[in-house]
Structure 1
Amino acid sequence: MDGIYFLVLLAFGALTGALLALCAALGANPPPGGTDAVGRSPQPDTAKHAATNRGL
């Protein structure tokens, strides 16, 4: 009976690992064109350095 629990745990670990690998593969490739999956454009580069642009 303990072997069944071990096999279930092993299968759960394999599925979790596969899901993690899939998320890592999809997250490593940003979509082309500068938009995300919803179609929004990223913030312009000027927003990254707002304090510098204001002379602070």
Structure 2
Amino acid sequence: MDGIYFLVLLAFGALTGALLALCAALGANLPAGRNGADGASSKQSAADRGL
């Protein structure tokens, strides 16, 4: 019975690692304008736009 729990724990660890690798791979490919460096894609408040 303990072997079943170990297999479930092992599968959970493998899925967690795969999800972490997927997030790392997708996070590395974000466009540069997401951090607000690009003026065209960054949102500005109404006061900044002179409205």
Structure 1 unmatched runs, 5+ = 45-56
Percent of residue pairs bearing the same amino acid type = 82
Structure 2 unmatched runs, 5+ = 39-51
The CA distance in 1 between the partners of 2:37 and 2:24, in whole Å, is 23
Q: Which runs of 4+ in 1 moved over 6 A?
A: none
Residue in structure 2 matched with residue 42 of structure 1 by the alignment: 36
Residue in structure 2 matched with residue 27 of structure 1 by the alignment: 27
Number of equivalent positions = 38
Instruction: Quote the RMSD (CA, aligned, Å).
Output: 2.0
TM-score (norm 1): 0.57
- Shift in Å, 1:43: 4.1
- Shift in Å, 1:19: 0.3
Greater share of helix residues, 1 or 2?
Answer: 2
